[in-house]
């Protein structure tokens, strides 16, 4: 079974703080993704990575950066958290069959 894990299920941070969200997959997938999910807006792609040290912007990259130093780990960074970044963050990993497997999600609240 594919396993995608995320470092926290719930996180509360203050405006201006630097926030790290980590995602780890155990299936040697090359492609990994970060989405945010908001009511009425659905899942929106922030960044994705197709190999170590490679990254591409998704639809809403502003205010975020990512890091992929190892194949199994893909980190999402909020350099200076803002209240409009309060959201559910979902990491996904893609198999050779193109199926994306999602982690359990991190519900981030920025106060």
Q: What's the closest the beta carbon of residue 80 comes to other proteins, in angstroms? A: 26
CB closer to other proteins out of 17 and 72: 72
Residue 90 sits in the site that holds other proteins (CB under 8 A): yes
Length of the chain: 111
Residue 41 sits in the site that holds other proteins (CB under 8 A): yes
Nearest to 6 by CA among 77, 96, 92, 110: 92
Residue 104 sits in the site that holds other proteins (CB under 8 A): yes
Q: How many CB atoms lie within 10 A of CB 34?
A: 25
CB closer to other proteins out of 81 and 105: 105
- Alpha-carbon distance of 62 to 73, in angstroms, equals 21
- Alpha-carbon distance of 69 to 109, in angstroms, equals 27
Residue 20 sits in the site that holds other proteins (CB under 8 A): no
- Alpha-carbon distance of 20 to 77, in angstroms, equals 5
Q: What's the closest the beta carbon of residue 15 comes to other proteins, in angstroms? A: 25
CB closer to other proteins out of 84 and 97: 97
């Amino acid at each position: 079974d594919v396993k995608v894990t995320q470092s926290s299920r719930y996180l509360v941070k203050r405006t201006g703080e630097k926030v790290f969200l980590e995602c780890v997959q155990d299936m040697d997938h090359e492609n990994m993704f970060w989405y945010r999910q908001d009511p009425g807006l659905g899942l929106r792609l922030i960044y994705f990575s197709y190999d170590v040290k490679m990254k591409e912007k998704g639809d809403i990259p502003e205010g975020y950066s990512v890091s992929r130093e190892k194949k199994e780990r893909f980190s999402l960074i909020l350099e200076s958290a803002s209240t409009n970044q309060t959201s559910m963050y979902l990491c996904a990993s893609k198999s050779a069959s193109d199926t994306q497997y999602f982690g359990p999600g991190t519900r981030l609240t920025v106060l």
